[in-house]
Amino acid sequence: MKFVRLLPVIISAILIVAHFFRAGQLLLVVVSVAITLLLLVKERWAALAVQGGLVLAAGEWLRTLNRLVEFRQNMGMEWQRMALILGGVAFCTLLSSMVFRLPAMRQRFGFEVRQKES
């Protein structure tokens, strides 16, 4: 069940790894894979590192979106559909970092779970 909760994170990681691999940025591929493997470490710092990596990945998608829109506009090509797709990928990547706010994930990674007062 924990795997299902982490699925958005894993999908986001696969997409950013594929993006860097296609761009030939092998160092960033290795860094992205290493950050994703931190999901196996049940420590708070590991979850924070993965969250930070997801935020940076969303920023990379927005940077790529900006560059491609500019390029396509200069070439007189259609850019709106591509912008919606990459914007959606950036949003989903950023949203996947919120997985760590779920109670089960907070417990798994050692965050304090606040109990409701009666």
- Per-residue pLDDT of 1-46, as tens digits, reads 678 999 999 999 999 999 999 999 999 999 999 999 999 999 999 9
- Which position has the higher pLDDT, 7 or 116? 7
In this predicted structure, what is the pLDDT of residue 2? 77
Whole-number pLDDT of residue 95: 97
pTM of the model: 0.89
Q: Where are the domains of the chain?
A: 2-107
- 5-16 pLDDT, tens digit each: 999 999 999 999
Q: Give the tens place of pLDDT for each residue, 59-90.
A: 999 999 999 999 999 999 999 999 999 999 99
pLDDT of 74 reads: 96
Q: Using pLDDT thresholds of 50, 70 and 90, give the confidence band for residue 115.
A: low
For residue 118, pLDDT beyond 60: no
H, E, C per residue of the chain: CHHHHHHHHHHHHHHHHHHHHHCCCHHHHHHHHHHHHHHHCCCHHHHHHHHHHHHHHHHHHHHHHHHHHHHHHHCCCCCHHHHHHHHHHHHHHHHHHHHHHCHHHHHHCCCCCCCCCC
